[in-house]
């Protein structure tokens, strides 16, 4: 036993020589993760806890004739079996989705996709619960399924959502943006028009941790404590109050460590509600955790957009207009998590990074007999699809014009002096300086040299491809006036408290899923207040300990909560100034700030550090009028606009002529997310997103057969890239701060996921160009590349 | 399973017809208590938890020669044995007290009182830990103890605190208040002077739950979670950071339900620190819970004041001045929990409720070989002693003058027009109207009739006594400028948050120990915002969920945090007005408030309820400049002054002439605590305090023999009153609001404890007056009353 034994075991956290503020510091959260001390929902064990399991439909479309739970209830370890009928008694059989639709919590009338929730068993352990599922006798009367979105609106197609009053087809919505007549006029007069159908297939975020919940309902005081895998604890709490009838102040949602979200943990899944009902019914805590197959088959997928795009241009390569129509497959329920009622991300950015004369887009949503959800996978609400479409189309145009695709992009960029730039659907891009980013990427890649190498290889019959993409993203929603989720404005809060000893806590409404919030937000506070990051505790994931806000998705955390933290810190700094003035017996306006300290102008030795001021604030200093005895502030930040990070990517692939196998040989990514808080964390985000993009471009795919059987329900079928499939990433950056954000930061969480798929596919198509290939759809699996090489249509999988 | 099964089981909490705001509503916290669902520190079980036990000194004063832990460490279930030497290595052998002294956590050089902490065993269960204590071999070299405070300063008395550099005697401090010369002059010229030595014996708060802690130190991230029986979680957290070297932001103090405090749970006991050290050393959670004997023998006692009082008066019964000297026995360490460094409560109020020309008081503190601590038992820092002294002295004067004691008091009260009244030690009484309270008590008691009854009984030789007391209390410390604890100002915080659905939470720095905070503070918020109390969650007892503040003691909660809640609620109301104006498209100044709603002046139908405004605040309403998207506020309240509740008590006793046994036949209590929030809770507080007072007056006593053996170490020896020993209380009230408090409330938690002992003792002395008794000291046990009846000196016990 020595005097240092009670010090933290993380040496990085006690280093005195690290920078106070922005910079490449080690992540504060990593010591617990690298030691296996992370605490996830499934790690939590409560006394008397029971375990739930969900019986899921084996068929995609059927009438539910009967559900007989007699045998399951007789299982000695089973405490409860809950069916849709039971939920009807609680008025909980259907729950509102985040998109003006409803979704069955447990099926009552029909099942509408393979994997839909039919019954819930609560038992002493997970094994008994699973065993008892097989004792439930369900009679299904099968119906013909609707699987292909293109067929969903056919006359005579089976009506999937006959639960909705008056519904006679599978139509969900028609939305449009831009001026159709103006756009058509530009197209009619254009020298060149190219068109292409582009499919962004259904993929899945596939986080390392699946979804789950542990519900603990206390019948004595009527409180519900809900441990959940969620990216948005406060929004869930409010929605639970609205859905379940438990008053909001009686609900506590706790999101402990989360093993990856990527949008998969935004929505409220039936399993969460079932855990709550299970706890209410049994009077015991009930845990429900998905297995991998359940996660892949039934939680929010992404994409599933069939897009027809057209570009109008001049012969010289001046892009004039974009026109597109999208068929959006929403599965059996429109459970989309998105702000406002339309795909804001798509509409804001299908015009790309280019200065257009006109643009128009229409999206038609349809129901199919597939799992519901969608869009929330690292996409900022359909930005990913829009960027893929426009970047693929630009390459199609380049091919048509016989022009280099990088050169074509450089000719059409919005120019720096045009920012803030209002695009043809009315969205204002906050800042951008695209050409330097593009040139930097080309330079890092050695673009000209690559083209020479490609020419040589082509001469030898080898298939080498160079793909370029340039993207602008719409991230960081609000503003509250423009966007909401079920009436809740897209704002987020931060509270800053400086304790009497000068240590601090910052409490956030956003929730980390591995992206380093505990470090990034500590650095923002450190930068503003001069308190070292190791002296700052970052709290999130507990509605009882954090201010209200809409949570983490769409790269919102830094743009929204980052603004909140900076502004709250500045409030604290101003308050500290008033208190320091009282301590120094001078006027606040006579004080100057240096990081961590207010001092008297002209007398730097006369000052008070933040720690000294903190003790004074909580101590006996006579405070000025209107200043109370703490060093705390809370801010709910309403961003005046979204932020628009951008980037330029270059991908080099080799395609095996004998097998069609694509190898990504190099990948250069130049990103601009404005102010860079922790470059190491930014690079980590980019690395992860690039792997996402390579995965989607080459292998990831949730397919269905004609009966609606999901063909991507395990990691044997749903392939994700490993270290073998990705190159060493080559990253660079430019810095174009957001002019409206308190620290100029824009958000980086999704950039690479958004920007990389078109670079990879453009590279594959470029490689296959000598074979006459102008386009192929993702994923570019060997079988599909082989088919393209043979001039055949892309096979389904 | 029905639709209502998940509703709270507390019918009171869902009643729609209860008043919104102040009034006699049922306690929100009671459903869990009456169902046995309270959650106390000892109810908390953490995975892998170990149990600690403390080896205590059997002798009062001895040199510690050796502590051999070999055998204890060999016990198969023992994980660690910690001695004072081990703590020296951690620099934790001594801890600062709350009163500019230090206290041994584990003895290193000497033991200084019976029950002092010598070693700490951590074992798999509580039984093994206790067993292993007997395996520790300690060699003591006994020293003569100092037990009688009157002998502590004798030349040649053993020096107890030889650990303090240069200390050659047992003197702790000399403090004084008032003008000695002025007072002496009044005395010299006075027609009548009476003097009396009055002893307030050592007693103990004896809460139902003993003290304990469960420490959970996480070596990976260096965080300490400490579940503690404390009335002041935030102050403990800051002090732990200062003492243990664990940064403040890494410490979380949680006080769950507390089974009574009464001041006993203000200080930081060695056991708390030992649980922390045990957890650090073993890497496991460690729980330590006192048994009853440990609680009585080693935690904060109360009183132990030997007071000489004098009153100067005119023949007509005009009181002119008070002069007093106190010998304060602080035990072996000055571990007093009190704001500032002097006994502010005593100094502020030994002048009583009377309009004096002069007053002077001196207090000499001494060390003795008894348990340390003191003063924190329902006393507002020695108010109890001061009130007892002055109210006893007034009766001595009445006897001297042959005047009715009620009449004497009525003649000398500070008059209503004199408030705010500055007394002769400089304290400003905020408000008072004493005569109506006194007359009400006399009327309720039927005072004149009682005196007639007494005269008849005396004529028959029966001993009936009527005791009157009138008290004013100093409660609700700050202000911060005047008072602090170890440099922390006497302020407290409250946070109010209205959730999007209109439910609310109020978070407090003060901590309930049974007195109904969850109800009282909900009612304050309800009164200010019009949200029903059942829709308000009150949070306390968790430093991670509440604002900073100094906690609950000295009847501070309502005066300080009650002010904070009211002011925070008004901030929320103002913010709601601005948002309502935006929603109604009008100006804030055009809106009128009715409870729970802002509406347009002259058009009551056009308005928005708080719930509607809450949704607007968190929704998409375009907010006015400077208003952000929440309905939250935090206030740290610095009270401009203390509050001064008062009361008039009448006690009727019968003394058994054959046994000396005192029976309290009636007790009338008229209290004035200003604005009354929940009369039922106020009455409960008064009932509890009256039982306290009867107990102290008649039976409670921590005695010591000449060797320093504690004679009050169990409930066999330390007697507390049961329902058999107390009458049905007769309570009444007047209402004189505090002029400076936001809602005019003053605090009621200690009034009856303070005011009732002199009423009981005055009644006993009044009963014995025909036998020539002018005074007797508490406790008025049968043996002592018998001795007094015989004209003999009071025996020690």
* A256 contacts on B by Cβ (under 8 Å): none
CATH class of domain segment(s) B387-477+642-789: alpha beta
Question: Does B489 contact A at CB distance below 8 Å?
Answer: yes
Q: How confident is the model at residue A10, as a pLDDT? A: 37
- Taking CA–CA distances from B244, the nearest residue in chain A reads A6
Q: Hey, of B5, B30, B215, B221, which one would you mutate to test binding to chain A, going by the most A CBs within 10 A of its CB?
A: B221
Q: How distant, in Å, are the alpha carbons of A348, A382, B488 from that of A431?
A: 15, 21, 48
Q: How confident is the model at residue B5, as a pLDDT? A: 33
Q: How confident is the model at residue A794, as a pLDDT? A: 74
pLDDT cut 70: percent of chain A above it: 96
Tokens of A641: 């606009």
Model confidence at A17: pLDDT above 60 = no
Contact between B725 and B354 under an 8 Å Cβ cutoff? The reply is no
Q: Hey, of A220, A503, A565, A571, which one would you mutate to test binding to chain B, going by the most B CBs within 10 A of its CB?
A: A220
Domain range list for chain B: 43-143+210-258+265-298, 387-477+642-789, 491-637
Q: How confident is the model at residue B795 (pLDDT cuts 50, 70, 90)?
A: confident
Model confidence at A654: pLDDT above 50 = yes
Question: Does B11 contact A at CB distance below 8 Å?
Answer: no
Tell me A795's DSSP state. Answer: P
Q: What is the pLDDT of residues B696-728, one digit of tens each?
A: 999 999 999 999 999 999 999 999 999 999 999
Model confidence at A56: pLDDT above 80 = yes
* B9 contacts on A by Cβ (under 8 Å): 219-220, 222
**What CATH code is assigned to A43-146+221-280?**
3.90.1170.50
Tell me B462's DSSP state. Answer: -
Contact between B318 and B356 under an 8 Å Cβ cutoff? The reply is no
Q: How confident is the model at residue A174, as a pLDDT? A: 93
Contact between A624 and A446 under an 8 Å Cβ cutoff? The reply is no
Q: How do beta strands A358-366 and A319-329 pair?
A: parallel
pLDDT cut 70: percent of chain B above it: 96
* Residues A575-581, mean pLDDT to the nearest whole number: 98
Q: Report the residue from A6, A37, A241 with minimal CB separation from B501.
A: A241
Q: What is the pLDDT of residues B306-320, one digit of tens each?
A: 999 999 999 999 999
Phi, psi of B377 (to 5 degrees): -85, 105
Gap between the terminal Cα atoms of chain A: 62
Tell me B777's DSSP state. Answer: P
- Taking CA–CA distances from B235, the nearest residue in chain A reads A500
Q: How confident is the model at residue B341, as a pLDDT? A: 65
Q: Tell if the CB–CB gap between A499 and B615 is shorter than 8 Å.
A: no
**CA dihedral over A119, A125, A127, A132, signed as positive or negative:** negative
SS3 (DSSP) at A721: coil
Contact between B765 and B465 under an 8 Å Cβ cutoff? The reply is yes
Give me the numbers of helices (H) and strands (E) for chain A, helices first please. 20, 32
Model confidence at A8: pLDDT above 80 = no
Minimal CA separation from B271 to chain A, in Å = 18
Tokens of B275: 């649980």
Dist. CA B740–CA B425, nearest whole Å: 21
Tokens of A359: 């643009």
Task: Determine which helix (DSSP H) or strand (DSSP E) holds A635, and give its type and residue range.
Answer: strand A632-637
Model confidence at A487: pLDDT above 90 = no
Dist. CA A715–CA A18, nearest whole Å: 41
Question: Does B503 contact A at CB distance below 8 Å?
Answer: yes
Q: Which residues, other chains included, contact A518 with Cβ-Cβ below 8 Å and sequence gap of 6+?
A: A27, A28, A29, A512, A538
Q: How confident is the model at residue A783, as a pLDDT? A: 95
Tokens of A256: 């402990």
Least confident of A365-379, A694-708, B204-218: A365-379
Q: How confident is the model at residue A613, as a pLDDT? A: 98
Task: Determine which helix (DSSP H) or strand (DSSP E) holds A632, and give its type and residue range.
Answer: strand A632-637
Q: Hey, of B2, B5, B6, which one would you mutate to test binding to chain A, going by the most A CBs within 10 A of its CB?
A: B6
Q: Tell if the CB–CB gap between B6 and A242 is shorter than 8 Å.
A: no
* A500 contacts on B by Cβ (under 8 Å): 238, 248, 488, 548
- Taking CA–CA distances from A7, the nearest residue in chain B reads B222
Q: What is the pLDDT of residues B338-366, one digit of tens each?
A: 666 677 889 999 999 999 999 999 999 99
Average pLDDT, chain A: 94
Q: How confident is the model at residue B478, as a pLDDT? A: 87
Model confidence at A99: pLDDT above 90 = no
Dist. CA A735–CA A682, nearest whole Å: 13
Reported residue count of chain B is 797
Q: What is the pLDDT of residues B62-98, one digit of tens each?
A: 999 999 999 999 999 999 999 999 999 999 999 988 8
Contact between B521 and B558 under an 8 Å Cβ cutoff? The reply is no
Contact between B651 and B690 under an 8 Å Cβ cutoff? The reply is no
Q: What is the pLDDT of residues B374-400, one digit of tens each?
A: 656 766 689 999 999 999 999 999 999
Q: Tell if the CB–CB gap between B480 and A629 is shorter than 8 Å.
A: yes
* B632 contacts on A by Cβ (under 8 Å): 547-548, 634, 636
Q: What is the pLDDT of residues B447-496, one digit of tens each?
A: 999 999 999 999 999 999 999 999 999 999 989 988 888 889 999 999 99
Dist. CA A522–CA A425, nearest whole Å: 37
* Residues B32-54, mean pLDDT to the nearest whole number: 95
- Taking CA–CA distances from B498, the nearest residue in chain A reads A249
Dist. CA B346–CA B374, nearest whole Å: 14
Contact between B508 and B565 under an 8 Å Cβ cutoff? The reply is yes
- Taking CA–CA distances from A629, the nearest residue in chain B reads B636
Q: Report the residue from B500, B504, B634 with minimal CB separation from A634.
A: B634
Structurally, at CATH architecture level, domain B43-143+210-258+265-298 sits in Alpha-Beta Complex (3.90)
Find, among B304, B373, B293, B403, the residue nearest to B103 by Cα. Answer: B373
Q: How confident is the model at residue A194 (pLDDT cuts 50, 70, 90)?
A: very high
Q: Is B536 exposed, middle or buried (0-12, 13-18, 19+ CB in 10 A)?
A: buried
CATH class of domain segment(s) A416-476+643-797: alpha beta
* Chains A & B: contacts with CB separation below 8 Å: 228
Model confidence at A11: pLDDT above 50 = no
**What CATH code is assigned to B491-637?**
3.30.365.10
Q: Tell if the CB–CB gap between A638 and B623 is shorter than 8 Å.
A: yes
Q: What is the pLDDT of residues A608-643, one digit of tens each?
A: 999 999 999 999 999 999 999 999 999 999 999 999
* Residues B246-268, mean pLDDT to the nearest whole number: 95
* Radius of gyration in angstroms for the set of CA atoms belonging to chain A, rounded to a whole number: 27
* B7 contacts on A by Cβ (under 8 Å): 222
Other beta carbons less than 10 A from residue B108's beta carbon: 19
SS3 (DSSP) at A639: coil
Tokens of A514: 């591995």
Q: Would you say the CATH fold of B491-637 matches that of B43-143+210-258+265-298?
A: no
Question: Does B88 contact A at CB distance below 8 Å?
Answer: no
SS3 (DSSP) at A487: coil
Q: Is A307 exposed, middle or buried (0-12, 13-18, 19+ CB in 10 A)?
A: buried
If one compares A427 and A98, the residue with the highest pLDDT of the two is: A427
Q: How confident is the model at residue B794, as a pLDDT? A: 74
Record the pTM. 0.95
Q: Tell if the CB–CB gap between A501 and B241 is shorter than 8 Å.
A: yes
Minimal CA separation from A492 to chain B, in Å = 8
Q: How confident is the model at residue A797 (pLDDT cuts 50, 70, 90)?
A: low
Least confident of A579-583, A792-796, B2-6, B240-244: B2-6
* Residues A233-259, mean pLDDT to the nearest whole number: 94
Minimal CA separation from B224 to chain A, in Å = 10
Dist. CA B366–CA B336, nearest whole Å: 12
Q: Tell if the CB–CB gap between A632 and B535 is shorter than 8 Å.
A: no
* Residues B418-429, mean pLDDT to the nearest whole number: 96
Question: Does A505 contact B at CB distance below 8 Å?
Answer: yes
Q: What is the pLDDT of residues B277-308, one digit of tens each?
A: 999 999 999 999 999 999 999 998 889 999 99
* Residues A395-422, mean pLDDT to the nearest whole number: 98
Q: Report the residue from A238, A249, A619 with minimal CB separation from B484.
A: A619
Model confidence at A409: pLDDT above 60 = yes
**CA dihedral over B562, B564, B568, B571, signed as positive or negative:** positive
Dist. CA A486–CA A101, nearest whole Å: 11
- Taking CA–CA distances from A218, the nearest residue in chain B reads B8
Dist. CA A269–CA A290, nearest whole Å: 11
Q: Which residues, other chains included, contact B724 with Cβ-Cβ below 8 Å and sequence gap of 6+?
A: none
Q: Is A165 exposed, middle or buried (0-12, 13-18, 19+ CB in 10 A)?
A: exposed
SS3 (DSSP) at A687: helix
Dist. CA B255–CA B235, nearest whole Å: 12
Strand partners, A495: A507, A634
Model confidence at B4: pLDDT above 50 = no
**What is the DSSP secondary-structure string of B648-690?**
EEEEEEEE-TTT--EEEEEEEEEEE-BS-S-HHHHHHHHHHHH
Q: Tell if the CB–CB gap between B504 and A535 is shorter than 8 Å.
A: no
Task: Determine which helix (DSSP H) or strand (DSSP E) holds A470, and give its type and residue range.
Answer: strand A463-472
Find, among B251, B216, B220, B217, the residue nearest to B235 by Cα. Answer: B251
SS3 (DSSP) at A678: coil
Q: How confident is the model at residue B13, as a pLDDT? A: 38
């Amino acid at each position: 036993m020595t005097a240092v034994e009670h010090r933290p075991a993380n040496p990085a956290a006690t280093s005195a020589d690290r920078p106070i503020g922005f910079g490449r510091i080690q992540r504060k959260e990593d010591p617990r993760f690298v030691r296996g001390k992370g605490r996830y929902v499934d790690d939590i064990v409560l006394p008397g806890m029971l375990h739930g399991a969900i019986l899921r439909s084996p068929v995609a479309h059927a009438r539910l004739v009967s559900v007989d739970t007699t045998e399951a209830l007789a299982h000695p370890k089973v405490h409860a079996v809950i069916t849709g009928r039971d939920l009807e008694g609680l008025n909980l059989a259907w729950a509102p989705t985040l998109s003006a639709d409803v979704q069955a919590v447990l099926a009552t009338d029909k099942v509408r996709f393979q994997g839909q929730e039919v019954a819930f068993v609560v038992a002493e352990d997970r094994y008994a619960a699973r065993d008892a599922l097989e004792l439930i006798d369900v009679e299904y009367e099968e119906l013909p399924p609707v699987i292909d979105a293109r067929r969903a609106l056919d006359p005579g197609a089976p009506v999937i959502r006959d639960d909705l009053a008056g519904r006679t087809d599978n139509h969900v919505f028609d939305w449009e943006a831009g001026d159709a007549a103006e756009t058509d006029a530009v197209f009619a007069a254009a020298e060149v028009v190219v068109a292409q159908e582009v499919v962004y297939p259904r993929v899945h975020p596939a986080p390392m941790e699946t979804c789950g919940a542990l519900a603990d309902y206390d019948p004595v005081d009527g409180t519900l404590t809900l441990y959940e895998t969620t990216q948005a604890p406060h929004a869930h709490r409010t929605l639970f109050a609205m859905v379940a009838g438990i008053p909001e102040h009686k609900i506590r949602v706790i999101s402990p460590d989360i093993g990856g979200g990527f949008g998969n943990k935004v929505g409220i899944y039936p399993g969460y509600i079932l855990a709550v009902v299970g706890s209410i019914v049994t009077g015991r805590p009930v845990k429900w955790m998905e297995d991998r197959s359940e996660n892949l088959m039934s939680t929010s997928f992404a994409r599933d957009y069939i897009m027809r795009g057209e570009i109008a241009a001049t012969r010289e390569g001046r892009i004039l207009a974009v026109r597109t129509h999208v068929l959006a497959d929403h599965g059996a329920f429109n459970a989309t998590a998105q702000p406002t009622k339309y795909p804001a991300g798509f509409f804001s950015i299908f015009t790309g990074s280019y200065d257009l004369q006109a643009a128009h887009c229409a999206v038609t949503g349809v129901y199919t007999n597939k799992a519901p959800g969608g869009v929330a996978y690292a996409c900022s609400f359909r930005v990913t699809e829009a960027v893929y479409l426009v970047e693929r189309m630009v390459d199609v145009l380049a091919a048509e014009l016989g022009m280099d695709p990088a050169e074509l992009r450089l000719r059409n960029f919005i120019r720096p002096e045009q920012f803030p730039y209002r695009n043809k659907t009315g969205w204002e891009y906050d800042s951008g300086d695209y050409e330097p980013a593009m040139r930097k990427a080309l330079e890092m890649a050695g673009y000209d040299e690559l083209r020479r190498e490609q020419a040589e290889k082509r001469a030898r019959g080898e298939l080498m491809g160079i793909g370029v993409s340039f993207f602008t993203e719409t991230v960081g929603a609000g503003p509250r006036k423009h966007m909401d989720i079920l009436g809740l404005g897209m704002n987020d809060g931060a509270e800053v408290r400086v304790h009497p000893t000068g240590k601090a806590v910052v409490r956030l409404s956003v929730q980390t899923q591995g992206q380093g919030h505990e470090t990034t937000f500590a650095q923002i506070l450190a930068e503003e207040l001069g308190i070292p990051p190791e002296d700052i505790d970052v709290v999130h994931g507990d509605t009882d300990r954090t201010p209200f806000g809409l949570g983490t998705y769409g790269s919102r955390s830094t743009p929204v909560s980052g603004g909140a933290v900076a502004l709250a810190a500045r409030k604290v700094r101003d308050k500290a100034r008033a208190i320091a003035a009282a301590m120094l017996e001078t006027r606040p306006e006579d004080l100057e700030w240096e990081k961590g300290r207010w001092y008297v102008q002209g007398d730097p030795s006369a000052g008070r550090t933040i720690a000294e001021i903190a003790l004074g604030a909580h101590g006996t200093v006579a405070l000025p009028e209107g200043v109370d005895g703490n060093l705390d502030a809370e801010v709910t930040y309403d961003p005046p606009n979204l932020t628009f990070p951008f980037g330029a990517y270059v991908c080099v692939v080799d395609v095996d002529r004998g097998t069609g196998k694509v190898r990504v040989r190099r990948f250069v990514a130049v990103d601009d997310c404005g102010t860079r808080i922790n470059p190491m964390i930014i690079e980590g985000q980019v690395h992860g997103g690039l792997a996402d993009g390579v995965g989607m471009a080459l292998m990831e795919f949730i397919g269905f057969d004609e009966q609606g059987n999901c063909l991507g329900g395990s990691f044997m079928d749903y392939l994700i890239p490993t270290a073998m499939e990705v190159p060493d990433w080559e990253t660079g950056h430019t810095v174009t701060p957001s002019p409206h954000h308190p620290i100029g930061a824009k958000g980086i969480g999704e950039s690479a996921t958004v920007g990389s798929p078109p670079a990879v596919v453009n590279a594959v198509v470029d490689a296959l160009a000598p074979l006459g290939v102008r386009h192929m759809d993702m994923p570019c699996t060997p079988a599909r590349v082989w088919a393209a090489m043979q001039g055949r249509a892309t096979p389904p999988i």
